[in-house]
Amino acid sequence: MEQHRADANESGANGSDANDPGVDDPGARRTDVNGAEAHRSDARRTDTYRTGARRAVVVGAGIGGLTAAVALHRRGWRVTVLERSADLAPVGAGIALAPNAQRALDVVGLGDRVRDLSAWQGDGGMRTPAGRWLVRTDAAAAAARFGGPLVLLHRATLVEILTSALPDGAVRTGTAAVVTDPGDDRRPARVTAVAEGAETEWEADLVLAADGIHSATRRALFPGHPGPRYSGRTTWRVVVPAPGRPFAPHETWGAGRLWGTQPLKDGRVYAYAMATAPEGARAPDDEKAELLRLFGDWHHPVPEVLAAVDPDRVLRHDVHHLITPLPAHHRGRVALLGDAAHAMMPSLGQGGNQAVEDAVVLAHHAGADGGFTPSRALAAYTADRLPRTTAIVRKAARTGALTMLSAPPAVALRSVLVGAAARLGPGFLLKGFDGIADWRPPGGPARPDPSA
Ligand SMILES: Cc1cc2nc3c(=O)[nH]c(=O)nc-3n(C[C@H](O)[C@H](O)[C@H](O)COP(=O)(O)OP(=O)(O)OC[C@H]3O[C@@H](n4cnc5c(N)ncnc54)[C@H](O)[C@@H]3O)c2cc1C
């Protein structure tokens, strides 16, 4: 087994130097991409860092893990991201980023790049499957209320922006990791990673578990927690060339079904759908055929989008959420973030946004005052994040229940109420995002607020 050892920190979990008994063969020295000196023997290897920079190991290179890696790297941490997938390119889906996540990305210097490569969500609205408009959304009103626009980009673009802000070699793909010891103020955390059959042990001042909704780290640290629950809904996502005929961006609510079509900046469109379904159910033929059965007779542009879908490129995922909150978002030197900490239904489009918020809040506390005492920093992280994300998980579940109503009288009443609410003005509907989209990162604004 290889060993990678973190450097000293002031709380006692000190790394080693070349005299450390864990170093087997000082003669076989090398320098790795992070500037670490490695000492190698046939049996195992220990890396000793020359500088005093603290070491963070991130498990999972999704949006949460990558943003956290960038945020810590900018604060001078040595960061290694361990990702079990062979590559990082997420296929076939867009992601909407509200002003709250954009402000977090401003903190790490990436907000403008993200906005440049995104489509700004213009005026559109909510419709019935026959095409009647229930609500017209007002992008200008939303931007004025929340301090900026909602933007949409391809996930692969976001991943590319985040990874390009990290040093070469910081992300190790094809590497499955397990937290073997969460550590404490006096003892480093330990992570064992397996890549191409070889095992490596990492010691770290801080571990970020961003390993997604089915997080093994969460199960290990909180064995009594019931874990994610199936929401009763399944989703589909596709990215296809824009339909020939113009359309307005929309989200359309039917009985126990929903479809949204939104433009990407590159001329393609991102479409998503949700329906009530038993857990694990899959189309008997293919998912395009299933989408045609469920949505094929809905208003323009749905049939045109469906016609362009390649059945092999439809993403289908059942939606699970952590409706029971964790008792904390950390244990020892390990912080959970993103879906690992607070998976939610996509009904508010906030799962990824909250992961991005987590990342900058965590880096804020980890880097505070130039010192790092895990128990203090991570307790502050939990205190900031747990109440906020718990409230948003619950709100997403309530909104999800409303969008998925299926009994005809309830669907009819919903249309009447939504239409009546819309007539009260855009502010009434936007109120639902108060306290969410207007969030500001700790430490003051990273760029001037255009609404101020
Ligand atoms: C239909 C749908 C639409 C959505 N739309 C939006 C939206 O518009 N806006 C928004 O903000 N959110 C949206 N979300 C939610 C969003 O996708 C998630 O909240 C977000 O991707 C979570 O990011 P994450 O980094 O926490 O986890 P993930 O993206 O799941 O990343 C976890 C990573 O960890 C890796 N991993 C797991 N275990 C290990 C291990 N042992 N070792 C190494 N690596 C490991 C995985 O391979 C993966 O790469 C949507 C979700 C759905 C289902």
Strand partners, 29: 39
Q: Which atom of ligand 1 is nearest to the CA of 235?
A: 1
Distances (CA, A) of 136 to 67, 103, 124, 287, 423: 33, 26, 6, 30, 10
Dist CA 45 CA 402 (whole Å): 55
Dist CA 451 CA 239 (whole Å): 32
* pLDDT at res. 52: 67
Q: Are 82 and 250 in contact (CB under 8 A)?
A: no
Distances (CA, A) of 412 to 95, 132, 405: 30, 13, 10
Q: Which of 61, 56, 59, 50 is nearest to 78 (CA)?
A: 56
Side-chain-side CA neighbours of 428 within 13 Å: the count stands at: 11
Ligand 1 in contact with 338 (CB < 6 A)? yes
- How remote is the CA of residue 352 from the centroid of ligand 1, in Å? 7
The burial of 411, by beta-carbon neighbours within 10 Å (0-12 exposed, 13-18 middle, 19 or more buried), is given as middle
| Nearest residue (CA) to ligand 1, atom 6 | 349
Dist CA 311 CA 317 (whole Å): 15
Ligand 1 in contact with 65 (CB < 6 A)? yes
N-term to C-term CA, the chain:
55
Strand partners, 259: 252, 273
User: Which stretches of 49-168 are DSSP H helices?
Assistant: 63-74, 99-107, 111-116, 139-146, 155-164
- How remote is the CA of residue 63 from the centroid of ligand 1, in Å? 7
Q: Which residue from 82, 158, 208, 211 has its CB within 8 A of the most atoms of ligand 1, so it is best to mutate?
A: 211
Distance of CA 40 to the CA centre of its chain: 37
Dist CA 27 CA 258 (whole Å): 63
Per-residue pLDDT of the chain (452 residues; tens, 9 = 90+): 666 654 333 333 333 322 222 222 222 222 232 333 333 333 334 443 445 689 999 999 999 999 999 999 999 999 999 999 999 876 679 999 999 999 999 999 999 999 999 988 777 889 999 999 988 888 888 889 999 999 999 999 999 999 999 999 999 999 999 999 999 999 999 999 999 999 999 999 999 999 999 999 999 999 999 999 999 999 999 999 999 999 999 999 999 999 999 999 999 999 999 999 999 999 999 999 999 999 999 999 999 999 999 999 999 999 999 999 999 999 999 999 999 999 999 999 999 999 999 999 999 999 855 678 999 999 999 999 999 999 999 999 999 998 889 888 898 898 888 888 877 776 767 888 999 999 999 986 555 554 44
The burial of 222, by beta-carbon neighbours within 10 Å (0-12 exposed, 13-18 middle, 19 or more buried), is given as middle
Contacts of 448 (CB under 8 A, 6+ apart): none
* pLDDT at res. 177: 98
Q: Which atom of ligand 1 is nearest to the CA of 353?
A: 11
Dist CA 44 CA 207 (whole Å): 22
Q: Which residue from 150, 259, 319, 339 has its CB within 8 A of the most atoms of ligand 1, so it is best to mutate?
A: 339
Dist CA 264 CA 248 (whole Å): 13
Distances (CA, A) of 225 to 59, 60, 218, 222: 20, 21, 9, 6
Q: Give the DSSP H or E segment for 230.
A: strand 229-241
Dist CA 244 CA 307 (whole Å): 12
Structural domains in the chain? 2-88+164-226+323-390 (3.50.50.60), 94-159+228-322+405-433 (3.30.9.30)
- Cis status, amide bond into 301, omega within 30 of 0: yes
* Dihedral sign of CA atoms 36, 338, 142, 295 in order: positive
Ligand 1 in contact with 346 (CB < 6 A)? yes
Q: Which of 396, 452, 435, 444 is nearest to 103 (CA)?
A: 444
| Nearest residue (CA) to ligand 1, atom 35 | 60
What Rg, from alpha-carbon coordinates, does the chain have? Answer: 23
Distance of CA 383 to the CA centre of its chain: 20
